[in-house]
Amino acid sequence: MKKNILIIPGDGIGQEVTTWGKEVLNTIAQKYNHEFTFDEAIMGHTAIEATGNPLPDETLEKAKASDAILFGAIGHAKYDNDPSAKVRPEQGLLKIRKELGLYANLRPILLFDELLDASSLKPEVLKGTDILFFRELTGDVYFGEKNRNEDNTFASDLMNYHRYEVERIARKAFEAARTRSKKLCSVDKANVLETSRLWREVVQELAKEYSDVETEHMFIDNAAMQLVKNPKKFDVVLTANLFGDILTDEASQIAGSMGMLASASVGDGTGFFEPIHGSAHDIAGQNKANPLASILSAALMLDIAFGLQEEAKEVTNAVAATLKAGWRTGDIANAETAADKILGTKEMGAKVLEFLK
Ligand code: IPM
Ligand code: MN
């Protein structure tokens, strides 16, 4: 199979981790006789520094022309403490999601048994958890009109949804539920928000069409609580952009660390694959970041963008084998982990490659 992959490392630890996602794709290509070619582009703070634009036209053109994109992370502390900055790294990510029509963000909470003790939650609460989040990605308060009055005493962000936006992501979630345990939980705040009432109405209508799927509706506050109380009760979770952003960071603690979770953003065009973690400038350039989320994002690319299920499974198995052999990065180590089992980014990436070969 011939594929043209665009690597966008982005900011902070993005560069370090995408190196290993790419290495894994290369290894798979060699092993299975695929022809993957790679190009690279800039986005975020890195792109602002170079061009003044968080998403340069050249990056967008390359993205549209590629078969899949492996992205690292975005953001810089400098902007977090400067709310007045008009040009911000995150704008690059939001714009590329919109431009590529990536309305569905799939975030699997993949729990490796070896990491049951890396979480702050009890192993017996976690064991057996397998959740697939469908986070809507191109609507909601993220993209609504923003306002600030002149004397800076008022600001607003418009939360809004069109029926078609809810329907197309809900359909993807229902289809996925059919291939899993036929359970779907739609999360909203329909007791308060009009957008959530529209959301619930659309999901209820679709539920009739997918009557073989057991559909449940839950308020976001309750879902946040249930997720740590009894994560096993969830299978496919469907939710809006902002709720999904928050809920999936919470859910990452089920898998032990943000450094473990991969995501796939899909929709109308080229698929976009990225860890759910941020740019982590505090550890950037120190060989400390966990490369597994990027490696697992590469696995999602093989599976979802290229339909290479066997190859994707190989990658996940190599990650499992690495963890089984006891290797850990700092974020997933615990008090009992021997110091000589704690690896840097490069060493961890290299271990996965060893198991893959
Ligand atoms: C994510 C991130 C982004 C989001 C930020 C960086 C804009 O937190 O992908 O979850 O909020 O969507
Ligand atoms: Mn987030």
Active-site annotation holds for 189: yes
Contact 314/356 with Cβ under 8 angstroms?
A: yes
pLDDT by residue for the chain (357 residues), tens digit each?
A: 999 999 999 999 999 999 999 999 999 999 999 999 999 999 999 999 999 999 999 999 999 999 999 999 999 999 988 988 999 999 999 999 999 999 999 999 999 999 999 999 999 999 999 999 999 999 999 999 999 999 999 999 999 999 999 999 999 999 999 999 999 999 999 999 999 999 999 999 999 999 999 999 999 999 999 999 999 999 999 999 999 999 999 999 999 999 999 999 999 899 999 999 999 999 999 999 999 999 999 999 999 999 999 999 999 999 999 999 999 999 999 988 999 999 999 999 999 999 999
Q: CB neighbours of 249 closer than 8 A, spacing ≥ 6? A: 258, 276
Full-prediction pTM beyond 0.90? yes
Active-site annotation holds for 235: no
Q: CB neighbours of 145 closer than 8 A, spacing ≥ 6? A: 156, 157, 158
pLDDT (0 to 100) of residue 268:
86
CATH of 120-254, picked from 3.40.50.720, 2.40.10.10, 3.40.309.10, 3.40.718.10, is 3.40.718.10
Active-site annotation holds for 98: no
The amino acid sitting at 158 is L
Report whether residue 102 contacts ligand 1, using a CB cutoff of 6 Å.
Answer: no
Q: What is the C-alpha separation between 161 and 143, in angstroms, rounded?
A: 10
Domain 1-107+258-357 and domain 120-254 have a common topology? yes
Q: Compute the distance from residue 167 Cα to the ligand 2 centre, in Å.
A: 23
- Determine whether domain 1-107+258-357 maps to CATH 3.40.718.10: yes
Domain ranges across the chain: 1-107+258-357, 120-254
Site to substitute for ligand 1 among 55, 76, 90, 241, most atoms within 8 A of C-beta: 90
The secondary structure of residue 151, as a DSSP letter, is T
The backbone torsions φ and ψ at residue 102, rounded to the nearest 5 degrees and listed phi first, read: -85, 75
Q: Ligand 1, residue 274: give the atom nearest the CA.
A: 9
Active-site annotation holds for 303: no
Q: Catalytic: which of 189, 235, 288, 331?
A: 189
